[in-house]
């Protein structure tokens, strides 16, 4: 992994992902998680303040960047009681099948390189009826915006650690088996190619 990706990028991502509109989005989703929770790409732990501690028995934070894990560990000391970390990729989740109540993923499906393998794994680990709580940015419905998303994605991926602006989030989630029970969309404030958000709840059939 390059110096930029391992040491510089985590600070930039932490900063970009801490804006007020994004923070409000996190709260809507994360507070719904219950039981044994697996957070995919936990990053620096920006979701920790929003878990409902009365409803979460264990939070497992999966994250392949060691720098991100060390940032999350510091935040966890202040915010979380029952938390453990897995230094792993979502493409190979080192957990048993049907062992998780809630999978949480925020602003990460845009970044994982082999997204289909990751979603297969994210479908394998919850119990039947288990939930996927997601909050992501992705392909916009407006032609003028999506034209720019397609144009900018290769440059943006390079700058932003592999982030794609143009992933079809609901199609990806449903394509690997989840049924989307509830989903909302909107543009957040900011440049439109970067800010079309999807958030909601999927269920393992
Ligand atoms: C934009 S950050 C979002 C972090 C965090 N989820 C949040 O909401 O603040 C994307 C995260 O995806 C992680 N990531 C990249 N590839 C991954 C993979 N294969 N499996 C799991 N996480 C991955 C990155 O290390 C990074 O922490």
Pocket lining: 10 vs ligand 1, CB cutoff 6 Å: no
Query: Among 66, 89, 184, which Cα is nearest to 136's?
Result: 184
Distance 182 CA to ligand 1 centre (A): 23
**Domains of the chain, start order:** 3-203 (3.40.50.150)
Answer yes or no: are the C-beta atoms of 112 and 177 closer than 8 Å: no
Distance 68 CA to ligand 1 centre (A): 9
Distance 26 CA to ligand 1 centre (A): 14
pLDDT class of 1 with cuts at 50, 70, 90: low
Least confident span in 6-20, 30-44, 145-159: 6-20
Which residue among 43, 69, 119 is best mutated to probe the pocket of ligand 1, counting the most ligand atoms within 8 A of its Cβ?
43
Q: How far apart are CA 40 and CA 63, in angstroms?
A: 7
Q: How far apart are CA 200 and CA 62, in angstroms?
A: 20
Q: What is the pLDDT of residue 35?
A: 98
Atom of ligand 1 nearest to the CA of 41: 22
Strand ranges across the sheet with 35-40: 83-86, 56-62, 35-40, 100-106, 126-137, 196-203, 179-187
Q: What is the pLDDT of residue 55?
A: 96
Q: What is the pLDDT of residue 80?
A: 75
The answer to whether residue 37 scores a pLDDT higher than 70 is yes
The answer to whether residue 83 scores a pLDDT higher than 90 is yes
Pocket lining: 64 vs ligand 1, CB cutoff 6 Å: yes
Q: What is the pLDDT of residue 21?
A: 97
Least confident span in 3-12, 49-58, 93-102, 195-204: 3-12
Q: How far apart are CA 37 and CA 32, in angstroms?
A: 11
The answer to whether residue 112 scores a pLDDT higher than 70 is yes
Q: How far apart are CA 35 and CA 21, in angstroms?
A: 27
| pTM of the full structure | 0.96
Q: For 128-157, how does the pLDDT look when each residue is reduced to its tens digit (9 = 90+)?
A: 999 999 999 999 999 999 999 999 999 999
The answer to whether residue 202 scores a pLDDT higher than 90 is yes
As a whole number, mean pLDDT of residues 27-32 equals 98
Atom of ligand 1 nearest to the CA of 91: 19
Q: What is the pLDDT of residue 52?
A: 95
């Amino acid at each position: 992994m390059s110096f930029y990706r391992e040491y510089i990028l985590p600070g930039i991502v932490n900063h970009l992902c801490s804006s007020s509109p994004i923070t409000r989005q996190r709260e809507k989703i994360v507070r719904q998680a219950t039981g044994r929770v697996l957070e995919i790409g936990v990053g620096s732990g920006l979701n920790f303040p929003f878990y409902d501690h009365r409803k979460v028995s264990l939070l497992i934070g999966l994250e392949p960047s060691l720098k991100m894990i060390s940032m999350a560990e510091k935040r966890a000391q202040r915010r979380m009681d029952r938390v453990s970390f897995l230094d792993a990729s979502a493409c190979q989740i080192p957990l048993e099948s049907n062992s998780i109540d809630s999978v949480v993923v925020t602003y990460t499906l845009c970044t994982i390189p082999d997204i289909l393998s990751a979603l297969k794994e994210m479908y394998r680990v919850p119990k039947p009826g288990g939930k996927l709580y997601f909050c992501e940015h992705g392909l916009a419905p407006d032609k003028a915006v999506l034209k720019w998303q397609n144009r900018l994605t290769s440059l943006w991926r390079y700058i932003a650690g592999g982030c794609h602006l143009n992933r079809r989030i609901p199609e990806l989630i449903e394509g690997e088996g989840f049924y989307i029970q509830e989903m909302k969309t909107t543009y957040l404030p900011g440049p439109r190619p970067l800010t079309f958000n999807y958030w909601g709840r999927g269920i393992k059939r």
